[in-house]
Structure 1
Amino acid sequence: MKRPTWLSWPSWLPIDPYIAALLGTVGVAALFPARGTGADVASGAATGAVALLFFLYGARLSTREALDGLRNWRLHLTVLACTFALFPLLGLAAKGLVPYVLTPALYSGFLFLTLVPSTVQSSIAFTSIARGNVPAAICAGSFSSLVGIFLTPLLAAGLIGGNAGFSTDSLVKIVLQLLVPFLAGQLLRRWVGGFIARHKKVLGYVDRGSILLVVYAAFSQGMVQGIWHQVTPLRLLALLGVEAVLLAAMLTLTWYGAKRLGFPRGDRIAIQFAGSKKSLAGGLPMASVLFGAHASLAVLPLMLFHQMQLMVCAVLAKRRSRDPEAQEAAAAETLSPPARSAGARTVAGTGTRSG
């Protein structure tokens, strides 16, 4: 018997089980927060999972792709400017909402989300769906992650000030957790790159799993410290509204700004998806180091923004794929099998769940 249409979930609404997993993780942390030795184990597991994730990032990106990507320096500079200049400027402009709309603590987290690097996984996947420049998205996301390892803590120290505990020691911790594993992946790519190519879902599982571990550790610490009395449902709704405006502004500015700068359609798509999103995988471990016991409240805006950007960009990517220019690109790919197969190899292992 055919299922009634009113029982079917709308096909245009991007519901991801990963969102439910994140909410469930927060619920588990609220009911069963890790304490004492359990907290140390959870923190160590989260650190190890994030290090493994960046090792796989490094092993996936070939040195040749990175060097080829450097040729498109205008695109990468545009993405970096959007990520580390335009985003923070909008974040600073939101300070006028304190304390009427956002509390000082929520504003610190909101400003921090504007400072973290761009995503890797989802930027690539959405660019691929929209038939954009996938190699450019790979390099743009990877370059942003590497630059963010150094630039995000420096920006946090300068713009957030005392709420972000920046020090040489914290920078060393971030470098050891993110950059060193990435470089190790690059060095060992010759031996492990084939495994990742054969097991395309491995990176996605590690990506999502590492984020869930970090979320559990951070929110457990917040429960133990008793900081959640600072957040009310009304404040959360206000935060969601502010973040919706921020995302809409960045999606608009990256698309029309790239068009004004003369980039072709494929590059504009890569700029829009890489320049308008923020990485939960990169931001969470940095927040844990910089904010310490207050990390759970600091990463709440980032976690909400991350889910919002996934849902909105999933719809946008599907619409971009139906543009007349996209249809012409699809027809060109059909006439060029080598180019299509090369593109398929490039996107292997990507997913839209996180990053």
Structure 2
Amino acid sequence: MLSRLFPDRFVPVLLATILLASLLPVRGAAVPVAQGLSTAAIVFLFFLNGVRLPRDEVLHGIRNWKLQGSALAFCFGVMALLGLAAQAATAPVLPATLALGFLFLGILPSTVQSATAASSLAGGNVAASVVAAALLNLTGVAASPLLFAALAGAEGEIHGQAVLRIVAILLLPFVAGQLVQRWLRPWVLANRGLATVMDRTAIAIAVYVAFSAAVVAGIWGLLDGREIGIVFAAVAVLLALSFGGAWALGGLLNLARADRITLLFSGAQKSIAVGAPLAATLFPPATAGMVLVPILVYHMAQLILSAWIAPILARRQEV
């Protein structure tokens, strides 16, 4: 029953992380230690992403410009505008930082493992999915904070210190991973299970520390049942528009069915693996936890939705 309710094992991990942060948040003297651990986890996460993402395959896969171009346009164009619209729609009824989280959700790149796995299960173009995931994440490391700053106005202003943190904590480890990819990538590919555990542990640590600060700042006192319901309703609308829009775009472009499936999952999914570290870099700890709420809900919902959609697409393809 649990496997049907949570098709992806990372969903209960994220739920447990949020529950732990709500019941046992980091306080007092433990905060600097936890923040240091979170920073180390983020650096490691982006180093691992740099090792894992196939640079050569990206360069080769760019030749399918119609698919890869549409994935980039949808992920950073359409989704960013949907996030901006969701922020504007929820701003009158939600705390400002929580509404801002919808715009933050919209500018993030796609997932890597989840989008590729869903595409494979649904009968999509797996090679193109790997390339799309790599290309979107390579682009997102630099483009996501700039896009957020451009769309958020004064709320998204990126100061010099934040720029240095992005470079030091996100970009440099990623570049270092790319540089040593030749030697370490074979080990990562041979130990996919261990790499995935390390990857998700790093994400869980970043989410736990960020959400702990929000709990200490009183996030559960600031949000009532009505506001939580609004967040879930807004995420449901975003999911319908994003998955429906990506599938419709593939049809309008007359993509082959396998490429259309790749566009669906690459375009509509959003990455907490980039979202949690980026929020910790751009915002103060208490603010970061509030901003992360929409992407946390969206990320868990997209994993469940993708795991339900993929087998249906696969069965229709067989018919």
TM-score, normalised relative to structure 2: 0.92
Asked if residue 74 in structure 1 is aligned to residue 66 in structure 2, the reply is: yes
Distance in 1 (CA, whole Å) between partners of 2:36 and 2:157 is 20
Instruction: Identify the residue that residue 311 of structure 1 maps to in structure 2.
Output: 304
Distance in 1 (CA, whole Å) between partners of 2:77 and 2:201 is 30
Q: Which residue identity lines up with residue 273 of structure 1 in the other structure?
A: F
Distance in 2 (CA, whole Å) between partners of 1:187 and 1:289 is 23
Q: In the alignment, which of 80, 89, 92 is matched to residue 81 of structure 2?
A: 89
- Cα distance change on mapping 1:11 and 1:283 into 2, 3 Å: closer
Q: Give the SS at the match of 2:64.
A: helix
Structure 1 residue 173: deviation in Å? 1.5
Q: Which residue identity lines up with residue 300 of structure 1 in the other structure?
A: V
Instruction: Identify the residue that residue 294 of structure 1 maps to in structure 2.
Output: 287
* 8 A contact 1:60–1:196 mirrored in 2: yes
* 8 A contact 1:165–1:290 mirrored in 2: no
Describe the superposition over 1:180-222 as per-residue Cα deviations: whole angstroms up to 9, x where unpaired.
2222222212221221122120221122111110111101211
Of residues 113-122 and 190-199 in structure 1, the stretch that sits farther from structure 2 once superposed is 190-199
Asked if residue 47 in structure 1 is aligned to residue 57 in structure 2, the reply is: no
Instruction: Identify the residue that residue 171 of structure 2 maps to in structure 1.
Output: 179
Asked if residue 21 in structure 1 is aligned to residue 24 in structure 2, the reply is: no
* 8 A contact 1:75–1:267 mirrored in 2: yes
Distance in 2 (CA, whole Å) between partners of 1:309 and 1:183 is 29
* 8 A contact 1:29–1:216 mirrored in 2: yes
* 8 A contact 1:58–1:181 mirrored in 2: yes
Asked if residue 144 in structure 1 is aligned to residue 136 in structure 2, the reply is: yes
Distance in 1 (CA, whole Å) between partners of 2:51 and 2:115 is 18
Distance in 1 (CA, whole Å) between partners of 2:192 and 2:140 is 26
Q: Which residue identity lines up with residue 118 of structure 1 in the other structure?
A: S
* 8 A contact 1:174–1:285 mirrored in 2: no
Distance in 2 (CA, whole Å) between partners of 1:208 and 1:65 is 24
- Cα distance change on mapping 1:183 and 1:11 into 2, 3 Å: closer
Q: Unmatched 5+ residue regions in structure 1?
A: 1-8, 329-355
* 8 A contact 1:95–1:107 mirrored in 2: yes
Q: Give the SS at the match of 1:71.
A: coil
* 8 A contact 1:49–1:206 mirrored in 2: no
Asked if residue 253 in structure 1 is aligned to residue 245 in structure 2, the reply is: yes
Structure 1 residue 114: deviation in Å? 0.8
Structure 1 residue 68: deviation in Å? 1.0
- Cα distance change on mapping 1:37 and 1:139 into 2, 3 Å: farther
Q: Which residue identity lines up with residue 187 of structure 2 in the other structure?
A: F
Q: Which residue identity lines up with residue 280 of structure 2 in the other structure?
A: S
Describe the superposition over 1:204-244 as per-residue Cα deviations: whole angstroms up to 9, x where unpaired.
11221111101111012112333442211211111111111
Distance in 1 (CA, whole Å) between partners of 2:51 and 2:3 is 35
Instruction: Identify the residue that residue 332 of structure 1 maps to in structure 2.
Output: none
Structure 1 residue 103: deviation in Å? 3.6
Q: Which residue identity lines up with residue 68 of structure 2 in the other structure?
A: H
Q: Which residue identity lines up with residue 58 of structure 2 in the other structure?
A: A
Structure 1 residue 15: deviation in Å? 4.2
Q: Give the SS at the match of 2:177.
A: helix
Distance in 2 (CA, whole Å) between partners of 1:205 and 1:11 is 18
Asked if residue 230 in structure 1 is aligned to residue 222 in structure 2, the reply is: yes
Structure 1 residue 127: deviation in Å? 0.9
Q: Which residue identity lines up with residue 321 of structure 1 in the other structure?
A: A
* 8 A contact 2:76–2:109 mirrored in 1: yes
- Cα distance change on mapping 1:13 and 1:217 into 2, 3 Å: closer
Q: Give the SS at the match of 1:160.
A: helix
Instruction: Identify the residue that residue 103 of structure 2 maps to in structure 1.
Output: 111
Of residues 147-156 and 207-216 in structure 1, the stretch that sits farther from structure 2 once superposed is 147-156
Structure 1 residue 94: deviation in Å? 2.7
Of residues 221-230 and 141-150 in structure 1, the stretch that sits farther from structure 2 once superposed is 221-230
Distance in 2 (CA, whole Å) between partners of 1:113 and 1:33 is 24
Q: In the alignment, which of 183, 201, 205 is matched to residue 209 of structure 1?
A: 201
Structure 1 residue 101: deviation in Å? 4.3
* 8 A contact 1:51–1:177 mirrored in 2: yes
- Cα distance change on mapping 1:149 and 1:60 into 2, 3 Å: closer
Q: Give the SS at the match of 1:236.
A: helix
Distance in 1 (CA, whole Å) between partners of 2:230 and 2:254 is 37
